[in-house]
Amino acid sequence: MTIHSVAMATGILPDAASILHAFGPWVLGGIALLIFIESGVLFPFLPGDSLLVTAAVLAGPLGIQPWQVLLVGIPAAILGDQVGYWLGRRFGRRLFREDARVLRPERLHDAERFFTRYGGGSLVLGRFVPIVRTYVPVAAGTAHMHYRRFLVWNTLGATLWVVAMTLIGLLLGGIPFIVDNIDVLMIVIVLISVLPVIIAIVRKTVASRRARAAAEAD
């Protein structure tokens, strides 16, 4: 069993290459759709980073050009966040329930803390953190961030993210080993992407244990 099959079996890694090939001649539309959904339609479990990188690496076999990935990816990312912003502004916390599988309140709370800490910059930084990038625009809408300010930061974040992921794919696509081992590349991308989330969880756990220890000592 390969690393790729293990990751797929455990649900760690969505198979971006297979998804792209499955779209056939509609691959550009598929890329736009998935980026749009992950960016703001409150479904954070799509392979956004690996999708863009893989699309650039496999551009030739897919029959597309990297500039076309930028052409569809940037608007899709911007529009997705627009939807997230207006959902947050219109419905706010009412979208989230304790018994929900995806829209749990703690996810919104984490995004709100991220937004409070980094302000408008969270719409740029959050783009590079899976799950966070889905909920930060909702947090911005819930906080009633001024729309023009949101639009500027959203456009900047979406553009930098799509361009960065596509450039990484272009750079790596020139390495034969990478092209022949795209599954390994995707695992590395996913691990790097979720590292900030893992660090945040570890910090939260350590802080919680220290708080309990201090309370017990008192």
Number of domains in the chain: 1
Residue 202 burial (C-beta neighbours within 10 Å; 0-12, 13-18, 19+):
exposed
> How long is the chain?
218
Tokens 């911005």 sit on residue: 140
Q: Which of 75, 60, 64, 43 minimizes the C-alpha distance to 162?
A: 75
pLDDT of residue 73: 95
pLDDT of residue 198: 65
Residues 23-57 as b/e (b if ≥16 CB within 10 A, e otherwise) read: eeeebbebbbbbbbbbbbebebebbbbbbbbbbbb
The contacts of residue 173 (CB under 8 Å, 6+ apart) are 56, 57, 58, 59, 179
Calpha distance 25→64 (Å, rounded): 9
pLDDT of residue 116: 75
The domain of 173 spans 3-217
The contacts of residue 174 (CB under 8 Å, 6+ apart) are none
pLDDT of 15-54, one tens digit each? 778 888 889 999 999 999 999 988 877 665 667 788 898 8
Give me the tens of pLDDT residue by residue for the chain, a chain 218 residues long: 333 333 333 333 347 788 888 899 999 999 999 999 888 776 656 677 888 988 988 888 899 999 999 999 999 999 999 998 888 888 766 666 665 555 666 666 766 777 777 777 878 887 887 777 787 888 888 878 888 989 999 999 999 999 988 998 888 777 766 655 655 665 666 566 556 656 666 777 777 777 777 666 66
The distance from CA 191 to its chain's CA centroid, rounded to whole angstroms, is 13
CB 108 within 8 A of CB 138: yes
Grouping H, G, I as helix, E, B as strand and the rest as coil, residue 32 is helix
The helix (H) or strand (E) run that includes residue 185 is helix 182-217
CB 140 within 8 A of CB 147: no
pLDDT of residue 179: 57
Which amino acid, one-letter code, is at 136? V
CB 40 within 8 A of CB 87: yes
- φ and ψ of 100, to 5 deg: -80, 150
Tokens 């500039």 sit on residue: 67
Ramachandran class of 63: left when φ > 0, alpha when ψ lies in -120 to 50, beta otherwise: left
Residues 126-139 as b/e (b if ≥16 CB within 10 A, e otherwise) read: bbbbbbbbbbbbbb
